[in-house]
Amino acid sequence: MNPLAVPVIATWQGGRTERVPLCPACGASERRQQARDVFDHLDPAGRDLWAFWRCEACSSLYPDPRPSSDSIGEAYRSYYTHNAETGPGSLRGARAQLMALVTGYMNWRFDAHVTPSNRLGVPLFCAFEPLRLKLDYHGRHLFRARQAKRRRVLDVGSGNGEFLRRASELGWSATGLDPDPDAVSACVAQGLVAFQGFIGTRGVLPEGLFDVISLRHSIEHVPDMRSDLKHCLRRLEPGGMIWLAWPNPRGLGARVFRPAWRGLEAPRHLCVPSAEAMETMLEEVGFVNVRSLRRGHHARSIARESGRIASQRPGIANRARALVAPLVGWYADLAATFFARAGEELVTVAFASDGKHDRA
**Which residues are registered as beta bridge partners of 173?**
152
Q: What is the pLDDT of residues 332-350, one digit of tens each?
A: 999 999 999 999 999 999 9
Domains with residue ranges and CATH for the chain: 6-82 (no CATH), 140-351 (3.40.50.150)
Q: What is the pLDDT of residues 305-335, one digit of tens each?
A: 999 999 999 999 999 999 999 999 999 999 9
* pLDDT value, residue 360: 41
* pLDDT value, residue 354: 87
Task: Please state, rounded to an integer, the average pLDDT across all residues of the chain.
Answer: 94
* pLDDT value, residue 256: 97
Residue 113 DSSP code = -
- What's the pTM? 0.94
* Radius of gyration, CA atoms only, the chain: 20
* pLDDT value, residue 356: 74
Q: Estimate to the nearest angstrom the gap between the alpha carbon of 341 and the chain centroid.
A: 14
- Write out the E strands in 202-317: 210-216, 236-247, 288-292
Q: What is the pLDDT of residues 252-303, one digit of tens each?
A: 999 999 999 999 999 999 999 999 999 999 999 999 999 999 999 999 999 9
Rounded (to 5) percent helix, strand, coil in the chain: 35, 20, 40
Q: What is the pLDDT of residues 90-106, one digit of tens each?
A: 667 789 999 999 999 99
The C-alpha atoms of residue 290 and residue 139 are separated, in whole angstroms, by 19
Average pLDDT rounded to a whole number, residues 217-246: 97
pLDDT of 89 > 60? The answer is no
Are 340 and 285 in contact by the 8 Å Cβ rule? The answer is no
Coil, helix or strand for 108?
Answer: helix
Average pLDDT rounded to a whole number, residues 15-19: 97
The C-alpha atoms of residue 60 and residue 225 are separated, in whole angstroms, by 13
Q: What is the pLDDT of residues 61-76, one digit of tens each?
A: 999 999 999 999 999 8
Q: What string of DSSP letters covers 80-100?
A: GGGSPP-------HHHHHHHH
